[in-house]
A and B are shown apart, each in its own frame.
Chain A
Amino acid sequence: MARYCAGLLVASLCLGGVVADAAASERRFTYVYEATTAPKGEWEFEHWVTWKTSSADNRHFDRFDIRYELEYGVTDRFQLGFYLSDWRYEEDRLNDVDRAKWRDVAIEGIFNLTNPVTDPLGLALYGEVKVGDEFVEVEGKVIAQKNIGPFVLAYNFVVESEWEGDDYEIDNGKIEQTAGISYQFSPRVLVGIEMLHEIDVPDWSGGQGSDVLYIGPNFSYRAERWWVTLTPLFQVSSLSGEPDFETRLIFGFSF
């Protein structure tokens, strides 16, 4: 194993000798957003797959969330994203569930405030509105990022509110923190760690719901026109109703 890791490191460092092209809004992380935005006039398509599986309550459960997203750099500091379609496939052998369901469309905007390289801290604001079948969600994020040489450190504070039901009478909230560190071995190969901390706040009543923490590594590879980033996350909080493992893969290409 040690020899394999050393080989991987050497191969990555060798790749560092190549000045690689890269599309402009590729992601180092899959759960953490970065403060930089796409340059003005750039379009990018992203395909997301998030797989959640196996909670302590149910070992026969798999859920796949699929997203198709189109991003556009409106200015050098403002980016819009359109979730063309979010849909879900889930299989629960314990409760005999096997179904695919369309969920929502959404629009997001990211406004960059400060630069993570030249300013002491890179900051950006994020807003998102999601609309589905008897479902509306509003989400806001503060994104902080600092680039130090080949390292990128990023942190997001997220507040999310959703309304569901015939008259949108069910009101649920969520507070989320994500953080990550990524190291660029070469312009093509990046490796790091991500953390996801979710706190459910039912009805915004002050009563706290589930509180779950995930940590895992991430890997990113970039080619001239496309990139792919993968993050497997493992639950470290031992919450029985939440998946023990989830992983997200994002594939993107710019045009």
Chain B
Amino acid sequence: MRRIVCTCVVFLLAGCMTLEQMAPPVGPDLLAVGERQGVGAETLRLGRDLYVTDCARCHSVEPIERYTVRRWRDALPRMAREAKLNRQQTEAVTAYVLAVRAGHCVNSDEQLERSD
């Protein structure tokens, strides 16, 4: 029983990431990724703002890195409709989420290269 309780506590604590970890602020790294994707700082900031406020009306803020790009591409248009986001807002959230994902992949690759 003690082991089960400990496992549950570990899972619960593991879920407690900071907001900055779940949805990184728009900093130089993300701006660089956005630039490569042709997305401006304004759009990324609007996307992050919507992600941590409007999206969190329905569910807790999800760590963006938890899901694959394919899953995000599949889910975002439907969730944006549910949240009554307009076209510009939907594009901004999508651009922000995909930039974070792309940045995460770049960072992971860099970490792999460094460890090699």
* Chain A residues near B (Cβ < 8 Å): 2, 5-6, 9, 13, 19-26, 36-42, 73, 76, 115-118, 147-152, 183-184, 187, 222, 224, 254
* Chain B residues near A (Cβ < 8 Å): 1, 4, 7-8, 11-12, 15-19, 22, 52-54, 56-62, 67, 71-72, 74-75, 78-79, 82-84
Write out the residue numbers on chain A whose beta carbons fall within 8 Å of the beta carbon of B12: 183
Query: Do B22 and A149 touch (CB < 8 A)?
Result: yes
A–B Cβ pairs within 8 angstroms, 27 of them: A6-B7, A9-B7, A13-B11, A19-B79, A20-B59, A20-B75, A21-B75, A22-B79, A22-B82, A23-B82, A24-B58, A24-B84, A39-B57, A73-B84, A117-B53, A118-B53, A147-B56, A147-B60, A149-B18, A151-B15, A152-B60, A184-B60, A187-B58, A187-B59, A187-B62, A222-B59, A224-B78
Q: How far is the CA of A21 from the CA of B79 in the complex (A)?
A: 6
Query: Do B16 and A150 touch (CB < 8 A)?
Result: yes
Question: Using a Cβ cutoff of 8 Å, how many contacts connect chains A and B?
Answer: 88
Contacts A21-B75, A150-B15 given; 19 further ones with Cβ under 8 A?
Answer: A5-B4, A9-B8, A13-B11, A19-B72, A20-B59, A24-B82, A24-B83, A26-B58, A37-B57, A42-B84, A76-B54, A116-B56, A117-B19, A117-B52, A118-B19, A118-B52, A118-B53, A150-B60, A187-B62
